[in-house]
Structure 1
Amino acid sequence: MDAVSHLLRLARPQARLDKRCLLGGATRMDVAAHAERKAPFHVLLEGACTLEIGSKLLEVRAGDVVLIPGGAPHRVTTPGCEPLSPTAETAGEAFVTTRSAQSRAPVIDLFCGHYTFGAGAGALLFRSLPDPLHVSFGSSDEGEEVLRMLSALMRGEARREGDGTAAILSALCTVLLAMVLRTSRGVNANATLWTAAGDGRIAGVVERVLADPGADWSIERLSRAAAMSRATFLRHFVRSTGMTAGTFLGQVRLMTAAELLATTDATVASVAGQVGYHSESAFSRSFRSAVGTTPARFRRASVRPA
């Protein structure tokens, strides 16, 4: 299984499309902070706008996707010379349609939604991503074509709003997340995604560790797998993933452990061994530090009532 598919299987995010925004010029849309373990996203199909999040101002163009893993409040603004107008919303069956409060011809077509994820593998994955994450699919013919097809399906379901619309839109949003996670670099060249290492040798190491996180992955073994010297491997790994090899290995092991705790009856000690920890106590300390609770409590919270 490839790395992105493996990660999505571990994280099991739930996707929802919340709004279709047809905003006229000089319009301001404020988006409130999302609840814990909810990550909003925006995909711009037509036009151009700015997205302000904290001290960062992103210039968003058609074909761009912005993901905000931490759920921070933000503002979307469309260009125009008139005083900024707020937005008005109309509720539909599957989601909300947002327009400028004043009657203005749309200058952008923006879909807004969010991903919901659990406290284990999902939280670890989203926490590891750049925040905000700004990716452009309009910069390559392949990416533009895929997004165009995805957009056409979204628009078609938005107009239909019939049986199955919510489920179809949720699936399309999951496809969008897979596309984002496999994109090696965002609009900002510094926003490196460890889920899509640009160096094929490093990407191969990432896939091997995901396939067998419990193996004895010493730095020497990892560098041999990449056919590099130790020093060269460490340097290339950070450049390609934005994190150290040790941080990556620990992350994958804890994500896998969370999945095993939630879906199997294996003891905590057994799970610790399966993901490469030599002692249950060391595993429990690492798990609690990363997830915020002990493995046993995490398992109890993950059990669904019959």
Structure 2
Amino acid sequence: MDAVSRLVRLARLEGGLDVRCLLAGRFAIDHDAVGPGQVPFHLVLEGRCTLTAGGSTVHMEPGDLVLLPHGTAHRVSASTGRRRRLVEEPGGAFPTRRTVGAEPELDLLCGHYGVESGAGALLFRLLPPLVHVSLDASALAVADLLRAEAQFDGEGTGVIVTALCDALLAMALRSRPGQRLSTPALWTAMGDDTLGRVVAEIVARPGEAWTIERLAESAAMSRATFVRHFTARTGTTVATLVTAIRMMVAADLLTRSDLSVGRVAGTVGYRSESAFTQAFRAALGTSPARYRRGRASGGG
């Protein structure tokens, strides 16, 4: 299995649509901050709008996808045209918000990813507060399927939408550097030919000794060039990447296998169970044993 596919599967996400917006003219819709376990996203199918979150402003066009990995409060708006009343119509899988008395100028899908407290939380925690991606042709085809399913809104729509949302996330993670319109982020290294190969090796064999020297050799770069290239592309450190992947794999093993904590530690590259426990606690705020008990009892 390739690295992007494995990371998305490890995260155990569940994507879904909250509302489809068919809007015209001037409007402003505020979205409150959400707590751990939810990652909002917005996808423009037609038209244009502006998204503001914290100190960042993003002008969105058709094919633009914005993720808010930290659940930041944000506003979606348009500043031209007449302000009209909005109504929300119920649907089988999700409601539709419409402008009254005008043909839609904007077709916007608003949804979220449900995130478990382990690997999924780690994946999104390592992204910046706002991720803006311009989708490529294949991802736009998925977006068109989402639109068709939103229009159908019938039996099976929920499960189909979930699968399509997961596909969109994978496509965003593998996007090329030129498609990413926001700040560098750890997982967008997947779209870089050289760094993508390096990340794939770590994901495939997290238990090996991944020193900077070894990774630089794999990338056919000097140590200094590799570190500089990695930091420029991702905005983080090599150690953060290696630890994050190891903890994602460990969280999955603790949840879905019967391996002892010591065996899990060895599988993800730790010779000492105590060193693994310390790293796991730093990443997820709890010990491996307590995390396993919580997952077994259905906790977050």
TM-score normalised according to structure 2 size: 0.93
Q: Give the C-alpha shift of residue 96 in structure 1.
A: 1.0
Contact 2:186 2:241 in 1 (8 A): no
Contact 2:173 2:191 in 1 (8 A): no
Q: Give the C-alpha shift of residue 21 in structure 1.
A: 0.3
CA distances 1:235-274 after superposition (whole Å, capped 9, x unpaired): 2222233221111111111111101101111111111111
Q: 1:168 aligns with which of 128, 135, 160?
A: 160
User: Aligned pair in 2 of structure 1 residues 47, 266: CA closer, same or farther (>3 Å)?
Assistant: same
Question: 2: CA distance between counterparts of 1:226 and 1:160?
Answer: 47
1:90 is matched with: 89
Which stretch of the first structure deviates more once superposed, 177-186 or 187-196? 187-196
SS at match of 2:105: strand
Question: 1: CA distance between counterparts of 2:236 and 2:283?
Answer: 16
Among the aligned pairs, what percent are the same residue? 47
Q: Give the C-alpha shift of residue 81 in structure 1.
A: 4.0
1:204 is matched with: 197
What pairs up with 1:88-237 in 2 under 5 angstroms? 88-100=87-99, 102-137=100-135, 143=136, 145-185=137-177, 186-188=179-181, 190-237=183-230
Report the residue type matching 2:218 in the other structure: A
Q: Give the C-alpha shift of residue 33 in structure 1.
A: 1.9
Q: Give the C-alpha shift of residue 189 in structure 1.
A: 5.5
1:140 is matched with: none
Aligned-residue CA RMSD (Å): 1.8
Contact 2:189 2:195 in 1 (8 A): no
Question: 2: CA distance between counterparts of 1:228 and 1:193?
Answer: 19
TM-score normalised according to structure 1 size: 0.91
Question: 2: CA distance between counterparts of 1:196 and 1:236?
Answer: 10
Report the residue type matching 1:239 in the other structure: A
SS at match of 2:70: coil
Contact 1:184 1:193 in 2 (8 A): no
SS at match of 1:162: coil
What pairs up with 1:16-95 in 2 under 5 angstroms? 16-82=16-82, 84-85=83-84, 87-95=86-94
Question: 2: CA distance between counterparts of 1:37 and 1:244?
Answer: 25
Contact 2:131 2:183 in 1 (8 A): no
Question: 2: CA distance between counterparts of 1:201 and 1:14?
Answer: 30
Are positions 1:7 and 2:7 aligned together?
A: yes
Contact 2:185 2:236 in 1 (8 A): no
Question: 2: CA distance between counterparts of 1:222 and 1:152?
Answer: 39
Q: Give the C-alpha shift of residue 285 in structure 1.
A: 1.2
Question: 2: CA distance between counterparts of 1:120 and 1:50?
Answer: 32
Report the residue type matching 1:71 in the other structure: G
Question: 2: CA distance between counterparts of 1:243 and 1:85?
Answer: 44
Question: 2: CA distance between counterparts of 1:95 and 1:58?
Answer: 25
CA distances 1:156-186 after superposition (whole Å, capped 9, x unpaired): 2222222111111111111111111111335
Contact 1:49 1:59 in 2 (8 A): yes
Question: 1: CA distance between counterparts of 2:200 and 2:12?
Answer: 18
Contact 2:72 2:129 in 1 (8 A): no
Q: Give the C-alpha shift of residue 117 in structure 1.
A: 1.0
Question: 1: CA distance between counterparts of 2:147 and 2:236?
Answer: 37
User: Which runs of no fewer than 5 residues in structure 2 stay unpaired?
Assistant: none
CA distances 1:8-37 after superposition (whole Å, capped 9, x unpaired): 111111111111100111012122222322
Question: 2: CA distance between counterparts of 1:171 and 1:46?
Answer: 22
Question: 1: CA distance between counterparts of 2:10 and 2:166?
Answer: 14
Question: 2: CA distance between counterparts of 1:62 and 1:159?
Answer: 17
Which stretch of the first structure deviates more once superposed, 37-46 or 52-61? 52-61
SS at match of 1:15: strand
Q: Give the C-alpha shift of residue 99 in structure 1.
A: 1.5
Q: Give the C-alpha shift of residue 132 in structure 1.
A: 0.6
Question: 1: CA distance between counterparts of 2:188 and 2:80?
Answer: 38
Question: 2: CA distance between counterparts of 1:125 and 1:63?
Answer: 23
